[in-house]
Structure 1
């Protein structure tokens, strides 16, 4: 089995004391092994689940050639028969057709027509036999059962949707690894598919460490604070549709910490802790994690979110014994927890869920304020972004950017992403922003 140190040493820019964000992302990505268990679920229960296999269309969609709009269907060959009704050079020729009947969606025209005839059709109606072209109703002049329209406005096959145009029978409608969205449910229903195979949900156990932490409902003793990290972690995990396992607050005691870690590893695929991994307080955690598994402690070139522990632990109390779980030890400061989760942990959880991952889109925006930035680390400042009347994006930081100022996340609607080598910015400089909408 490849150890974490062996994996890490193969990554460019590896430096445990100053790990670039891109290097950390590359290392943890390699350890993201997808769950293999597959479940069969009803379509209504498939939202946000990860498809375990390709969905192959059992039918053509649409099943028949049909009209793309309200109008009159006829044989396109009739366009070759032009009748000059004006006698004025340069005027458009017109075609006259007799209306033979009607066709509605779900109520097709059952007869056959001649070249000089047409059928009144509504949007979605099956194209009558012998018809391959539709003239929109607003383009015709009707007098009784005769319609006339300019020939030059149409081509054979106009305004007709072909059978299988959306999806052909036997083609892949949705690929394995896709996270099922609302539009996908509609697509699956249109194929007559009522159940799909999905990967089981990833199980993620999490807890906070620290004698100063109190849970909601408990009195605050002097020097104590309410634990917010478990609630932000719970919310972020629920947005990813994993099964969260909240193990509460764990005391800063070796026996309590070991029991919590072993319990978490036995019940979950991933274990996430907050607190206890900074340089000043990591000795106890390092010893415990060294005993339980293969875990590295890094100092990230990232703000907020410098300390990070990552690796694998086992429920049996030593490497290879019992059940394994991927481990993330996140910082204790609330904003640092959220920043490291979204920049480091999120993709791993998606990959382990079996999902096909894509880079989170970023937008270029004009910076409204000057920003102080030291080259040599990646910063994720909290900002408020908006578009002006011309559609251009502008962004400004949300005041204090301290890693403990959780209100800066609540007020913000984006991360201002300042690259590793970037320096100070002046007002008007272009920056990348990562919108929270759809992410947080």
Structure 2
């Protein structure tokens, strides 16, 4: 959907600079780096009311126009006083001369030997710099309160003006994917609308004569197309505008028409199937004819075959992610390659997947020389330690295992077999899938 101008670099220019580049044996990290260098953000911005901005990418930094809080205020219910009135030993009795409420400040001046009853969030009275919580007082009446020594220091329990956010400072940085807390922060600053990047438009389809859509008769040797539904779910979670183009048969005219339509109407294209070695269709040929596309055999399991690049049609272009056909391989390659690239296209600040350490309760066979992603179930044991075990058979066609799993066990390129009770890295699905 973007004009077919050249990217920051051509794909072949990027890979030509890599001395160890071999398209038939691409390490995961190298493929991720190439994609990161090649993909460029889509530059289109719109303004939205903050209630509509959840999950959108902030297009410009938000600068606070006020101090938060606007005044020094009390962090709790108690008595506001001068820090010099705190007793060094024994105790001291102060006169209570009034009350300060949240939203209704005490208007008088507090002198030595006096204090003001104060509620959480109330503006600190003049001359007061300390709050003693009510539960720390020895005795309190409407007229007097007795304060012990050694319970607090001067300045305690006072929230300073601008402590949360000072006027003129950045409240939320550009590139942030807005979360519920961000909406609250924007509202606290009196900001009603923000500039965000427009939604990314992504077209996707599956290829293969053996695929059937839901509702169609399942002939011998055919399977229902599950990949479009997992891709639909993953793109929806990312907040993309999506174009489901269905199942495209292994027909050169139909495939070319689908690719051209997608390139003319979307920012990115995701396909499943048709990129493996010896595929009996025309997908790879058409991808290569329409644009700058690399075909990789990636050192990973599952998901070795993958196509990546940019295709063009009638002055428009779209980034292409040609994923494998096996259901689990589709999800793995999407999350470890396409997802980060799509976020970058949205203008989101780059963040690495957050891996955490867990104890593997099962042995895992692993051959050095490739990155492996095993489906796992992580739990917390009685000692408060995170542990994980694999879901069973790890075949790339067993989609049920992804449904059962709550994490991915990430085994690095050089790693070998994992023994029981060894530490492994896992990526939790919550918030991701």
Retained in 1: the 8 A contact 2:274–2:284?
Answer: no
Deviations 1:375-408 (A, max 9, x none): 1111101011111111212111111101000001
Structure 1 portions without partners, runs of 5+: 83-91, 317-321
Deviations 1:196-215 (A, max 9, x none): 00000111100000111111
What residue is the counterpart of 1:427 in the other structure? 420
Aligned length: 425
SS in 2 for 1:407: helix
Retained in 1: the 8 A contact 2:250–2:281?
Answer: no
Deviation of 1:76 (Å):
1.8
Deviation of 1:286 (Å):
2.6
How high is the TM-score relative to the length of structure 1?
0.94
What residue is the counterpart of 1:112 in the other structure? 109
Q: Separation in 1 of the partners of 2:294 and 2:28?
A: 15
How high is the TM-score relative to the length of structure 2?
0.96
Deviation of 1:224 (Å):
1.3
Q: Separation in 1 of the partners of 2:167 and 2:26?
A: 50
Deviations 1:112-140 (A, max 9, x none): 22212111001001111221111111111
Deviation of 1:45 (Å):
0.4
SS in 1 for 2:26: coil
Aligned residue runs from structure 1 range 375-414, under 5 A: 375-414=368-407
Retained in 1: the 8 A contact 2:74–2:124?
Answer: yes
Deviation of 1:144 (Å):
4.6
Retained in 1: the 8 A contact 2:74–2:157?
Answer: yes
Retained in 2: the 8 A contact 1:13–1:19?
Answer: no
After the TM superposition, which segments of 4 or more aligned residues of structure 1 sit over 4 Å from their partners? none
Structure 2 portions without partners, runs of 5+: 1-5
* Larger CA deviation: 402-411 vs 384-393: 384-393
Retained in 1: the 8 A contact 2:83–2:155?
Answer: yes
Q: Is 1:123 paired with 2:120?
A: yes
Deviations 1:292-334 (A, max 9, x none): 1111111111100010011100022xxxxx1011001100000
What residue is the counterpart of 2:152 in the other structure? 154
SS in 2 for 1:281: coil
Aligned residue runs from structure 1 range 27-426, under 5 A: 27-79=34-86, 92-140=89-137, 141-281=139-279, 284-316=282-314, 322-426=315-419
Q: Separation in 2 of the partners of 1:345 and 1:407?
A: 22
Q: Separation in 2 of the partners of 1:373 and 1:287?
A: 34
What residue is the counterpart of 2:10 in the other structure? 3
Q: Separation in 2 of the partners of 1:336 and 1:188?
A: 40
Deviation of 1:143 (Å):
4.0
SS in 2 for 1:6: helix
* Larger CA deviation: 52-61 vs 135-144: 135-144
Q: Separation in 1 of the partners of 2:224 and 2:305?
A: 22
What residue is the counterpart of 2:3 in the other structure? none
Retained in 2: the 8 A contact 1:11–1:26?
Answer: no
Deviation of 1:151 (Å):
3.1
Retained in 1: the 8 A contact 2:10–2:38?
Answer: no
Q: Separation in 1 of the partners of 2:22 and 2:159?
A: 59
Retained in 2: the 8 A contact 1:73–1:118?
Answer: yes
Retained in 2: the 8 A contact 1:13–1:20?
Answer: no
RMSD between aligned alpha carbons? 1.3
Deviation of 1:12 (Å):
5.9
Retained in 2: the 8 A contact 1:63–1:164?
Answer: yes
